[in-house]
């Protein structure tokens, strides 16, 4: 039966012996193994009561088996919900409560800690999978048949649920359909000329759009090979480069590569393409990378809700500080944020996008969904930008209060709420401050209650039990009061100016 996305990613005719994921001795996955081993997992899911449309949530380390699980979910008609491995138990509790998965797969080391969250969300099965591919999931799959009749799924059926933090503090589950993912993968594969000859260094996490759908789906469509690293390590990436053709990364990958003496023309001679996205790439990094390697980094722009929206060209000029042109079938426009009135080319406004890549809405949040779409179907990204005379899109800031640290989004409101809940805190303001490694560093400006003695270390320790480590402030600054405008609103722009040189001075 036809399964829209899976049939495109893994047609039956593939060369079964070819390696898709190279992940070290004994861990490689061939295209044949992708079929047979994902079939076994799909049977295990169905046996656990995963019916079409049911959610399967996972918080697992990166491994080839995690990719098999994603494919198994597609085949079983389930909705795959990957969660950041850094999330704490309170964070997981929210996601499980909102998405109500039938099965939750977590790391065996965290099973005891996370079981109560699963129980209170009435999750039927809590399974485990570790970085080595071991766990109860593997045991459930072991005795199953290596062939599976895929559940029929059409273009509009949901394939994945990805949470993005909300400006109000509550994370929103973006519902992504088979067609959203299939259309984006096909567009990128063509645009970036991926083929069977490609060997892509995969050092990104696989719980976000970038590492999961951009990297894995494009490589699958092209029948390329992935060199799978558990995480980004600059030495390992440089060591793999002579045997690879391409790299996808967040800007921090590139600033770290540029800072390494081993980056040069020789080491990158076999590479054909370096792609950057998820956060702004500094023009300076772009230029230095070119000077050191002869390669112009190709910067593209996207979001969880939309997949990729624009990309610099493969053949034409890849312009620093721009994110290029809309993908085929994707339309973008610049509008006045408050009224939605369209702005003339060159003027700065909110970037809006429409196309087959754009999600269908946020789970359980019809009002929020309506608020973020215009009546004619354009999605308001919340990013501010303009289109230059040569039609390149420039992202120059964000209308939304958001910090992007090393490619991870952190919503200040969520961090402020947790800080404000700490004993002795009167109020706080969280801002992003230019950071040489992470792009922006999460920074908290905190006011104590009268008479309270606050200590940054103790505050951080408290925050780490509640918030994923990447959301925790890199610095906490104690002040007597926060700057406010005449309406009483905290002036974050003043704080950003005051602390602009915090990490660079």
- Residue 385 interface partner, choices ligand MLC, ligand AMP, none, CB cut-off 5-8 Å depending on type: none
| Alpha-helix residue ranges (DSSP H) falling in 351-396 | 366-372
Total Cβ atoms within 10 A of residue 263: 21
Of 78 and 279, the one with the shorter C-beta distance to ligand AMP is 279
State the nearest-atom distance from the C-beta of 232 to ligand AMP, in Å.
17
299 contacts ligand AMP (rule: CB under 6 A): yes
Give the β-pairing of 246-249 and 273-276: parallel
Residue 169, sorted as left (phi over 0), alpha (psi -120 to 50) or beta, turns out to be left
Nearest of 107, 29, 102, 108 to residue 71 by alpha carbon: 29
405 binds ligand MLC (CB under 6 A): yes
Q: Exactly one of 208, 333, 394, 466 binds ligand MLC (CB under 6 A); which one?
A: 208
Regarding 160 and contact with ligand MLC (CB under 6 A), the answer is no
Among 127, 232, 254, 411, binds ligand MLC (CB under 6 A): 232
CB of 248 to ligand AMP, least distance (A): 12
Token representation of residue 49: 């009561």
407 binds ligand MLC (CB under 6 A): yes
Give residues with Cβ within 8 angstroms of 316, minimum separation 6.
none
By DSSP bridging, strand 79-82 and strand 55-59 are: parallel
280 binds ligand MLC (CB under 6 A): no
Q: Residue 149 interacts with ligand MLC (CB under 6 A)?
A: no
The structure tokens listed for 213 are 């759908």
64 vs 302, beta carbon nearer ligand AMP: 302
Residues 470-499 as x/- pattern, contact with ligand MLC by CB under 6 A: x-----------------------------
What residue 98 binds from ligand MLC, ligand AMP, none (CB within 5 to 8 A, per partner kind)?
none
**Which residue matches tokens 């959301």?**
471
Selected from 301, 325, 378, 411, the binder of ligand AMP by CB under 6 A is: 301
Q: Which of 138, 304 has the CB closer to ligand MLC? A: 304
Q: Distance between CA atoms of 54 and 251, rounded to whole angstroms? A: 35
Residue 43, CA distances (Å) to 12, 55, 462, 469 in order: 18, 15, 42, 36
Closest separation in Å from C-beta 309 to ligand MLC: 8
Measured over the CA atoms of residue 137, residue 143, residue 148 and residue 151, the dihedral's sign is negative
**Rounded CA gap, 284 and 321, in Å?**
9
Tell me the closest approach of the beta carbon of residue 311 to ligand AMP, in angstroms.
9
* Closest residue to ligand MLC in the complex (CB): 406
Q: Which of 35, 88, 150, 164 binds ligand AMP (CB under 6 A)?
A: 164
Indicate which single residue of 67, 219, 323, 438 sits in contact with ligand AMP (rule: CB under 6 A): 323
What is d(CA 402, CA 352) in angstroms, rounded to the nearest whole number? Answer: 17
Partner interacting with residue 383 (select from ligand AMP, ligand MLC, none; CB below 5-8 Å by kind) = ligand AMP
CB of 358 to ligand AMP, least distance (A): 13
**Residue 323 binding target from ligand MLC, ligand AMP, none, CB below 5 to 8 Å by type:** ligand AMP
List the one residue out of 157, 140, 143, 127 whose CA is nearest residue 56.
127
- Other Cβ atoms closer than 10 A to 356: 19
Q: Round to whole Å and give the CA distance between 492 and 472.
A: 18
Longest dimension (CA), the chain: 72
Taking CB under 6 A as the criterion, which residues in 201-220 touch ligand AMP? 209
Question: Contact region for ligand MLC (CB under 6 A) — 7-15, 133-141, 317-325, 406-414?
Answer: 406-414
Residue 303 lies near ligand MLC (rule: CB under 6 A): yes
Residue 279 sits in the site that holds ligand AMP (CB under 6 A): yes
325-326 and 172-177 strand pairing: unpaired
Tokens of 237: 């990436």
Contacting positions for ligand AMP (CB under 6 A):
164, 209, 277-280, 299, 301-304, 323, 381, 383, 395, 398, 404, 409
């Amino acid at each position: 039966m036809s399964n829209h996305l899976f049939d495109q990613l893994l047609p039956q005719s593939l060369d079964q012996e070819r390696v898709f994921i190279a992940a070290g001795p004994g861990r490689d996955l061939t295209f044949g193994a992708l079929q047979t081993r994902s079939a076994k997992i799909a049977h295990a899911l169905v046996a656990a009561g995963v019916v079409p449309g049911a959610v399967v949530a996972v918080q697992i380390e990166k491994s080839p088996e995690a990719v098999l699980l994603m494919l198994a979910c597609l085949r079983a008609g389930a909705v795959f919900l990957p969660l950041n491995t850094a999330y704490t138990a309170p964070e997981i509790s929210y996601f499980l409560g909102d998405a109500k998965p039938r099965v939750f797969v977590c790391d065996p080391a965290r099973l005891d800690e996370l079981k109560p969250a699963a129980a209170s969300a009435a999750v039927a099965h809590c399974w485990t999978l570790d970085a080595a591919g071991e766990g109860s999931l593997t045991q459930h799959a072991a005795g199953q048949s290596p062939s599976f009749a895929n559940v029929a799924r059409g273009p509009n059926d949901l394939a994945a649920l990805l949470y993005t933090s909300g400006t109000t503090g509550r994370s929103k589950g973006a519902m992504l359909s088979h067609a959203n993912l299939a259309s984006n993968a096909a567009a990128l594969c063509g645009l970036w000329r991926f083929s069977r000859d490609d060997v892509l260094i995969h050092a990104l996490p696989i719980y976000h759009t970038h590492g999961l759908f951009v990297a894995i789906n494009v490589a699958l469509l092209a029948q390329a090979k992935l060199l799978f690293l558990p995480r980004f390590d600059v030495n390992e990436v440089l060591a793999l480069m002579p045997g690879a053709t391409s790299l996808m990364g967040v800007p921090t990958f590139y600033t770290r590569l540029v800072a390494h003496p081993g980056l040069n023309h020789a080491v990158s001679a076999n590479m054909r393409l370096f792609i950057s996205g998820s956060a702004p790439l500094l023009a300076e990094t772009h230029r230095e990378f070119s000077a050191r390697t002869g390669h112009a980094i190709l910067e593209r722009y996207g979001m969880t809700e939309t997949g990729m929206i624009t990309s610099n060209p493969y053949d034409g000029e890849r312009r620093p500080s721009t994110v290029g042109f809309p993908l085929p079938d994707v339309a973008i426009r610049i509008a006045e944020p408050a009224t939605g009135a369209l702005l003339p080319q060159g003027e700065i406004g909110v970037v809006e996008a429409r196309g087959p890549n754009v999600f269908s809405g946020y789970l359980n949040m019809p009002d929020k969904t309506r608020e973020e779409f215009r009546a004619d179907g354009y999605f308001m990204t919340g990013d501010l930008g303009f289109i230059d005379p040569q039609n390149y899109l420039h992202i120059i800031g964000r209308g939304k209060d958001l910090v992007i640290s090393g490619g991870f989004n952190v919503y200040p409101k969520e961090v402020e709420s947790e800080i404000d809940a700490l004993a002795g805190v009167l109020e706080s303001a969280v801002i992003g401050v230019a950071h040489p490694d992470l792009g922006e560093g999460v920074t908290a400006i905190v006011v104590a209650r009268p008479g309270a003695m606050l200590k940054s270390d103790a505050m951080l320790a408290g925050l780490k039990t509640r918030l994923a480590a990447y959301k925790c402030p890199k610095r906490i600054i104690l002040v007597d009061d926060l700057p406010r405008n005449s309406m009483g609103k905290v002036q974050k722009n003043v704080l950003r100016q005051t602390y602009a040189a915090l990490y660079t001075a």
